[in-house]
Amino acid sequence: MEIQSVGVIGAGQMGNGIAHVMALAGYDVLMTDISEDALKGAIETISSNLDRQVGRGKVSDQDRNAAMDRIKTTTTLIDLGACDLIIEAATERETVKQAIFDELLPHLTPTTILTSNTSSISITRLASRTDRPEKFMGFHFMNPVPVMQLVELIRGIATDEETYDACRRVVERLGKTSAAAEDFPAFIVNRILMPMINEAVYTLYEGVGSVKSIDSSMKLGANHPMGPLELADFIGLDTCLAIMNVLHDGLADTKYRPCPLLTKYVEAGWLGRKSGRGFYDYRGETPVPTR
């Protein structure tokens, strides 16, 4: 199964990153979003990020221009129907993802591979509601996509070997490394990472340490490049909460109970960097802890 064209659903942080690396690897990319402004913003972001790679000597001017030429956009979801591979990178809500697949399914070719960039939702369940569970799998990139080297490949119970091998070859062509994960809540990376972040929030909630002391302790004491609360802000507190809820609901273990303080921040709309405030306030020149 030779993949030449890739459809990307969603022009947000993950979607534009996926479009970026796919185009740079030589795939023809069609990116869709319900917002024309979001698509324009994504193209600007991709262009800027490619310029940064050119400046660092990682990408040539010729390759940068060729990659930009390979990316097309549309606000009409069904235009992606002719693509060989489709990667859904919409918001982390199952109802939204299901609605997208329902609209898209009648317009796909018989050989189109459907994948989701979901960070936690059951691939088997998503696949079971399509007409091609054997050609459906999880294709989970890490954020930021152009920088991070890992891609989790998650097979649902019905995913066939041909589909898995085709996606694995795509990851190799991107110059990234794939990790095969079983279809259990949050897969590998977030199964380990999110409870650590949640525990850091509990540490803050219980007054064991301040935002600054918790992040400094993990950076200097465990050699983490970012503190867990700083990382939560980068990921998005709403995303962190959604994944913890998936873990808690899917595994029925109290150790995955989301910290009430995390829930409170999300209820306040303090979602991290993208909203200007989270565990840090980003509205000034330098981030300032909010607790």
Annotated binding site: 10-15, 33, 92, 97, 119, 143, 274
Asked if residues 111 and 1 have their Cβ atoms less than 8 Å apart, the reply is yes
Active site residue 190: yes
245 tagged catalytic: no
Question: Do 276 and 290 meet the contact criterion of CB atoms below 8 Å apart?
Answer: no
Q: In sequence order, what are the residues at sequence separation of 6 or more whose Cβ sits closer than 8 angstroms to the Cβ of residue 115?
A: 85, 86, 87, 88, 136, 137, 138, 139, 167
Is 140 one of the annotated active-site residues of the chain? yes
Q: Give the C-alpha separation, 75 to 11, whole Å.
A: 10
Choose, from 5, 152, 198, 230, the residue flagged as catalytic: 152
> Where is the binding site for NAD(+), in residues?
10-15, 33, 92, 97, 119, 143, 274
Catalytic residue among 5, 49, 119, 178: 119
Q: Which of 117, 178, 190, 198 is catalytic?
A: 190
153: left (phi over 0), alpha (psi -120 to 50) or beta: beta
Selecting among 116, 122, 140, 178, the annotated active-site residue is: 140
Structure tokens at 71: 């990316």
- Residues 213 and 200: their CA atoms lie apart, in Å, by 11
**Any idea which residues carry the catalytic annotation?**
119, 140, 152, 190
